[in-house]
């Protein structure tokens, strides 16, 4: 099931605005004509058969190319945990100050798998204070940039921002986090705890989630 975050108290979110065939004419029905007609018919059948073979071969090749394309796509994207419910990323705030957010769970990925997809990080940070500052500062800026580019809706941006706040609070208490920095490589930062991904900067070229805006 996807993570649900619920707290009391309002949080400032700075999202701004947030062609014909030739016919044979003959009156004779001699043996030669009959044989000739049979030969033409046979040739036509062979031609059709050859055409079908080519079409079948072409269809198979196209199917293989599509399969390879889908495999490459799946290899490059982080996808939500398949054991989760397929909820859309969303954010809701009630009038009494309660806030809830549904966000994707990528906890099935390990540090080794992250590095396999993104390469070596530019930096690895384990200092809690520095990580908390990044979660509530730098990550918000990166999320807002995705919103400004039209890659996230306002509610999606708010949901991801709220997730960073929740993670920052957890870190300030007892959760030990490890940050793999990739932003200077124009890739998403990845936060892990106990070798399990807790948050990925929602750069939509690298992650998939329900409700994702499809861009060309």
For residue 82, give both structure tokens: 């398949």
pLDDT of residue 203: 97
Question: To 5 degrees, how large is the angle CA 160–CA 163–CA 167?
Answer: 145
Residue pair 83/107 in contact (Cβ under 8 Å)? The answer is no
Backbone angles phi, psi at 112, to 5 degrees: -65, -40
pLDDT digits (tens, 9 = 90+) for 4-13: 555 544 344 4
Residue 107 scores a pLDDT above 70: yes
Q: Which two tokens stand for residue 98?
A: 């309660």
The pLDDT > 90 percentage for the chain reads 56
Q: Quick one: how many helices (H) and strands (E) in the chain?
A: 5, 7
Which of 163, 171, 125 shows the shortest CA–CA distance to 11?
163
Instruction: Please write the tens of the pLDDT for every residue from 39-57.
Output: 434 444 443 434 444 444 5
Which of 208, 205, 188 is closest to 139 using CA atoms?
188
Domain boundaries, the chain: 1-13+29-216
Q: What are the CA-CA distances from residue 149 to residues 95, 127, 152 (Å)?
A: 29, 31, 8
The confidence band for 216, taking pLDDT boundaries of 50, 70 and 90, is low
Span 73-85, average pLDDT = 81
Residue 87's φ and ψ, nearest 5 degrees, are -85, 145
pLDDT of 24 above 50:
no
The reported pTM is 0.69
Which of the four pLDDT bands, split at 50, 70 and 90, describes residue 22?
Answer: very low
**pLDDT one-digit tens code per residue, 159-169:** 999 999 999 99
- Range 198-202 average pLDDT: 98
């Amino acid at each position: 099931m996807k993570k649900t975050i619920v707290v009391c108290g309002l949080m400032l979110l700075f999202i701004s605005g947030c062609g014909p065939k030739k016919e044979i004419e003959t009156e004779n029905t001699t043996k030669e004509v009959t044989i000739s007609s049979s030969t033409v018919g046979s040739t036509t059948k062979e031609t059709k058969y050859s055409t079908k073979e080519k079409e079948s071969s072409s269809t198979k090749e196209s199917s293989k190319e599509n399969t390879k394309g889908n495999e490459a796509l799946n290899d490059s994207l982080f996808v939500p945990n398949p054991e989760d419910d397929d909820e859309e990323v969303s954010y809701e705030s009630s009038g009494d100050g309660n806030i809830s957010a549904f966000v994707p769970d990528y906890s099935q990925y390990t540090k080794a798998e992250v590095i396999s997809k993104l390469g070596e990080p530019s930096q690895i940070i384990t200092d809690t204070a520095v990580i908390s500052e990044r979660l509530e500062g730098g990550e918000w800026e990166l999320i807002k940039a995705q919103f400004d580019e039209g890659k996230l809706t306002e509610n999606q941006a708010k949901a991801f921002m709220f997730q960073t706040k929740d993670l920052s609070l957890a870190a300030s208490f007892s959760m030990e986090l490890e940050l793999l920095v990739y932003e200077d490589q124009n890739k998403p930062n990845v936060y892990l705890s106990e070798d399990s991904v807790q948050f990925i900067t929602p750069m939509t070229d690298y992650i998939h989630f329900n409700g994702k805006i499809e861009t060309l």
